[in-house]
Amino acid sequence: MPQYRPASADLGAISIAIRLITSTGSSPFLQTTAALVAERAPFADHISLEGAGHFPSFDQPRAFSDAIRSFVHRLTGAPV
């Protein structure tokens, strides 16, 4: 598998909030890429859900929903 690294200059130019959600069952490639984006994009964060597989929204629907809700709350301050 070829090594893929997003260009850090491009990531630094992103001016919107991003929440990256992976799981402990995600491939190492996805985990590494999500962590790199979260590190280099100014308004990004990364959450890895424990015990979920490749589709965390199906494997851990409550935890996935909570991750989305907390992100929306952080951005808007609205109760979710």
3-class secondary structure per residue, 33-47: HHHHHHHHCCCEEEE
Radius of gyration of the chain (CA): 14
Amino acid code (one letter) for 14: I
Query: What integer pLDDT is reported at residue 79 of this predicted model?
Result: 84
Q: Which helix (H) or strand (E) holds 8?
A: helix 8-12
Output b/e per residue, 28-41; b: 16+ Cβ within 10 A: eeebebbebbbebb
pLDDT in tens, 26-37: 999 999 999 999
How far apart (Å, rounded) are the C-alpha atoms in residues 37 and 65? 21
Q: How many CB atoms lie under 10 A from the CB of residue 68?
A: 14
pLDDT in tens, 67-79: 999 999 999 998 8
State percent of the chain over pLDDT 70.
89
Query: What integer pLDDT is reported at residue 69 of this predicted model?
Result: 96
